[in-house]
Structure 1
Amino acid sequence: MSTLVRRGSASGHLRPATLRCVCSALVAPEPRAPGPPIAAKNAPLAQRSSSPWRRQSGSSSSSSAFSFSTLTATKKAAAAAAAAAKERVRGLLTVEELKRLVEEDEIETVVVGLTDCYGRLVGKRFTASFFLESAVEDGTHGCSYLLATDMDMEPVPGYRFAGWEQGYGDIHLVPDMRSLRIASWLEKTAFVLCDVVDDESRALAPHAPRSILKKQIAEAHSLGDLVPMAASELEYYLYQQNFEEAKEKNYAGLKPVGWHREDYHILQGSREEFFHGPARRHLQASGVPVENSKGEFGIGQHELNVKYAEVLEMADRHVVYKQCLKELADQLGVAITFMAKPHFDQPGSSSHLHLSLWKDGKNAFHGDKKLGSISCSDEFRWFLGGWMKHTPELMVFYAPNVNSYKRFIAGSWAPTQLVWSRDNRTAPFRLIGSGKSLRIECRLPGADCNPYLAFAAALASGLDGIRHKIEPPAAFEGDVYKAKNLQQVPRSLGEAVALFQKSAFAKAMLGDDVHHHYAHFFETEHLAHLQTVTDWERNRYFEQI
């Protein structure tokens, strides 16, 4: 590990501790959208201590319904809930708190971001003073191609939303001030996520991933004042090389930070605390409450879990989490990947989704009806039935790229056949908890998923189940990997894209135009793979064929 420390100390990117006391000095901000209590009250965040690394280095609603008036009403509801709320998430900021921190020279920069279709963060950096002067009220603009490019940021023809024919005009980015937070891993920086708004209609642009999730949240409210609560469990691999070195090696032959399988392994986990310790502290200080971290089954693989929340807030936390860990790795001279399957001989990295619906501060999944051995409500049973029924046709939202499908291998802790079971990790739908903690864990999504799209797909499917009283199949007991004659998980992006393209349900969920947009997006990704000559092909055929 000494080589890692030397690289980190030479990087010159470790931020000074200018914000160590900021979070403990903050007045508690107003909470996000109203809903049931998220979790137990947070313990006060202690002043961040230097890590060992630092010590050694010295350093179905129509989209038109989403207007500014709707957003204003939501903010008013959030403000009303604030008076009675017991939960205060440390690291979130109000505009007034941001003004004070700017005046005190504690914040100089505000990152204004949104996710593209892949789930990557894109956007701008504002001087904090100009953000307060301009962007708070007026937002900002970005090129429409941000929602119509490939992984290399190349403009892709064939989209209706944006293209050369339309001149690649601007999209209006409106900061959601409820997502405003300290970005403690960056020096003197705050961070806010944006909605994409149509300048003419003043409605949320329906193609943006965050808009798609917001539409389904509105559907849940309209179905009976239901509040979706959620969590995502991200896994990742960590390597001793930095990102530049990994690129120079074509991302092959990288050395993981560990050398033992580290699932729950305390000794191996301790060797990696130079990274995971600061990661936990930075997230906790940046409005992302952390539960715990642990080693995972792969060599160099880890998991860090954050507290569950209302589903939009959870998706926002997911985005902040990934950005924080990538930038922290960059600062510390190591590399991290959220690929679903970076190594053929190691388990893949997942993003298990946990979902429940709440009403009047109580878990609406709790009830006295029976589903196998589970006591639950009708809504729970129907939500599960709808989620399972629509999974194949919406699989692209859980497994969005070519690599995603290489994770679905028997015996690898990833699901392969579509069943549900009680507390069974071989099943894609694992039912866990009881009473007020009863929830559905979906083990299909990989760490490469876009959280807004994955949660939106899950909600749309489950809510359709409630509307149409869709019954789930009987519970499965035993080893799903060994079972015969069960419905298989789609085995490739091509197969999943074909199911999505012809899905009437996907069209109804998204609308024809947005459905065309994402069908084209996923098909473009699939075709890029089909046209690429791989190292595997050269190694197999160059001389022998």
Structure 2
Amino acid sequence: MNEHQITAYLQENNSQKIKFAFADIDGVLRGKLIHPKKFIDGLQSGYGFCDVVFGWDSSDVCYDNVQLTGWHTGYPDKPCHIDLSTFRTVPWQENIPFFLGDFSDPDGNGLAACPRSLLKRITKQCEEMGFHPEFAQEFEWFNFKETPQSLQDKNFTKLQSLTPGMFGYSILRTSENNEFFNDLFNLLAQFNIPLEGLHTETGPGVYEAAILHTHVLEAADRAVLLKTAVKEIAYKHGIIATFMAKWNENLPGCGGHIHQSLWNKDQSENLFYNGSDTNKMSDLHKQYLAGQLYCLPHILPMYAPTINSYKRLIEGAWAPTTITWAVENRTTAFRVLNSSEAYTRLETRIPGADTNPYLAMAAALASGLYGIKNKLSLDIPQTIGNGYQNAANGKIASNLYDATMDMKNSAIAKEILGNDFVEHFTQTRLWECKQFAKSVTDWELKRYFEII
């Protein structure tokens, strides 16, 4: 819908309020309810939003190590611009009109810290090279019979899973919570997040959803919205959903894999496909993959942004630990799927469910484009067999601090993502490391309290 059509819609439906939101650096949606007049008046100039939303962490604690904003700037308002193409209504909230926004112009120029703006800039580069980027993200998450209050009261311990036992791809377990399961599929579709599939994963109360593929910016919008939408739909059923990468050391982690391919501008040809190649991969596909392999150590925190992310990236846990690729191999960092021309694509398997989709997709696309721009050859041999045992090209960093320092000092990261973004983002990750370093964990108490 254009501005005229949306204005007409609001009038015809007597809309009394509009909700809009944007993703902060952690992928957390921040937003407001506004009056229709405020909405219409701000369509061109934007809506003032305190830039502390890019100056604090996921717990609303202000950073003391960033330059973009802080007490030294007075935390001024910055204009958030609504993207009218994101219009949808929220079916579980009386169909209130909803929009996504960001802090940039249509080309993505603006606030360097804004994740959606970064993806817009990378997408523009891709399209100027003559490509249509087609993306999708899939998520795994755990569900619990808890409430926000019970989580606090129980101190996040002894939580009751939605269902017991390890029941991957179970029809039985989804039937047990049929109303919730069907609400997820149906309400997400009504919210313009169409799912390709929804099923249980192995683990107590684990679901996995694959979102239908689309243009990369819309794919990221869908992915960001899915995480919040799932949580809100879960609330309706007395359920808490978590997208933590690894909530329990004895259970599998939660992936957020990204599927991607490049097409010609009219989307009539998948440029990743070559039927005469052994692996049905075009030269463009190989360059794109080579770029992701090469850039991975330089941008890893975009795929694994939290302390907890690295608890998932361990051997034998369905998440990669080595810089590897292969056709149809779930032990490698990059998996090539080539069952048909229409579905030939690359799956980047490093990201967890805790990723900010805008940042993860921006990192994947920028890395792939780097490989194309520099005509990188795919020199790393395909892994045959167990990718965990193939560290010939290096291993993925094992913690957030090391990964962040690699990115902070990387000329490659600054080249493909921009100096200002890399500086701000890596400072926020170092802040995260600092907060963890001063905490006393349950593990330390159990190990040292009595015996030392």
Distance 1:98 1:251, change over 3 A: farther
Q: Deviations over 1:293-351 (max 9, x none)?
A: 10001111111222100000000001111111111122221111000001110000010
Per the TM alignment, residue 501 of structure 1 is displaced from its structure 2 partner at its CA by 1.2
Three-state SS of the structure 2 residue aligned to 1:146 is: helix
Name which of 5, 16, 22 aligns with 1:108: 16
Name which of 59, 62, 65 aligns with 1:155: 62
Asked whether 1:138 is paired with 2:45, we answer: yes
Per the TM alignment, residue 468 of structure 1 is displaced from its structure 2 partner at its CA by 1.0
Aligned partner letter, 2:212: K
Per the TM alignment, residue 259 of structure 1 is displaced from its structure 2 partner at its CA by 1.1
Asked whether 1:537 is paired with 2:423, we answer: no
Aligned partner letter, 1:110: I
- Output the CA distance in 1 between the equivalents of 2:11 and 2:183: 25
2:362 aligns to what? 456
Name which of 341, 350, 365 aligns with 1:435: 341
1:10 aligns to what? none
Three-state SS of the structure 1 residue aligned to 2:342 is: helix
2:325 aligns to what? 420
Three-state SS of the structure 2 residue aligned to 1:138 is: coil
- Output the CA distance in 2 between the equivalents of 1:132 and 1:502: 42
Name which of 224, 234, 237 aligns with 1:332: 237
* Paired residues of 1:143 and 1:170 also in contact (CA < 8 A): yes
2:350 aligns to what? 444
Per the TM alignment, residue 97 of structure 1 is displaced from its structure 2 partner at its CA by 4.6
Which 5+ residue runs of structure 1 have no aligned equivalent? 1-28, 31-93
- Output the CA distance in 2 between the equivalents of 1:414 and 1:500: 21
- Output the CA distance in 1 between the equivalents of 2:176 and 2:430: 42
* Paired residues of 2:108 and 2:119 also in contact (CA < 8 A): no
* Paired residues of 1:355 and 1:441 also in contact (CA < 8 A): yes
- Output the CA distance in 2 between the equivalents of 1:202 and 1:447: 25
Residues matched between the structures, number: 447
Identity of aligned residues (%): 32
- Output the CA distance in 2 between the equivalents of 1:352 and 1:496: 19
Name which of 248, 255, 271 aligns with 1:364: 271
1:488 aligns to what? 395
- Output the CA distance in 2 between the equivalents of 1:374 and 1:154: 49
Aligned partner letter, 2:28: R
* Paired residues of 1:419 and 1:476 also in contact (CA < 8 A): yes
Asked whether 1:267 is paired with 2:172, we answer: yes
* Paired residues of 2:321 and 2:388 also in contact (CA < 8 A): yes
Distance 1:195 1:484, change over 3 A: closer
Distance 1:263 1:95, change over 3 A: farther
- Output the CA distance in 2 between the equivalents of 1:513 and 1:481: 35
- Output the CA distance in 1 between the equivalents of 2:444 and 2:429: 23
1:284 aligns to what? 189
* Paired residues of 1:430 and 1:440 also in contact (CA < 8 A): yes
Distance 1:98 1:425, change over 3 A: farther
Three-state SS of the structure 1 residue aligned to 2:352 is: coil
- Output the CA distance in 2 between the equivalents of 1:482 and 1:518: 32
1:312 aligns to what? 217
* Paired residues of 2:28 and 2:58 also in contact (CA < 8 A): no
Aligned partner letter, 1:441: E
Three-state SS of the structure 1 residue aligned to 2:384 is: coil
- Output the CA distance in 1 between the equivalents of 2:123 and 2:108: 19
Deviates more, 1:373-382 or 1:230-239: 373-382
- Output the CA distance in 2 between the equivalents of 1:486 and 1:270: 45
Three-state SS of the structure 2 residue aligned to 1:508 is: helix
Q: Normalising by structure 1, report the TM-score.
A: 0.79
Asked whether 1:118 is paired with 2:55, we answer: no
Per the TM alignment, residue 368 of structure 1 is displaced from its structure 2 partner at its CA by 4.7
Q: Normalising by structure 2, report the TM-score.
A: 0.95
Three-state SS of the structure 2 residue aligned to 1:317 is: helix
- Output the CA distance in 2 between the equivalents of 1:342 and 1:175: 34
Q: Deviations over 1:417-452 (max 9, x none)?
A: 111111011111110033232100011100000011
Distance 1:202 1:452, change over 3 A: closer
* Paired residues of 2:108 and 2:118 also in contact (CA < 8 A): no
2:126 aligns to what? 220
Name which of 300, 321, 329 aligns with 2:226: 321
Three-state SS of the structure 1 residue aligned to 2:85 is: helix
Per the TM alignment, residue 502 of structure 1 is displaced from its structure 2 partner at its CA by 1.1
Alpha carbon RMSD of aligned pairs, Å? 1.8
Aligned partner letter, 1:537: E
* Paired residues of 1:110 and 1:131 also in contact (CA < 8 A): no
- Output the CA distance in 1 between the equivalents of 2:262 and 2:435: 39
- Output the CA distance in 1 between the equivalents of 2:4 and 2:211: 25
Asked whether 1:497 is paired with 2:392, we answer: no
Per the TM alignment, residue 489 of structure 1 is displaced from its structure 2 partner at its CA by 1.3
2:112 aligns to what? 206
- Output the CA distance in 2 between the equivalents of 1:196 and 1:316: 15
1:298 aligns to what? 203
* Paired residues of 2:290 and 2:376 also in contact (CA < 8 A): yes
Aligned partner letter, 2:133: P
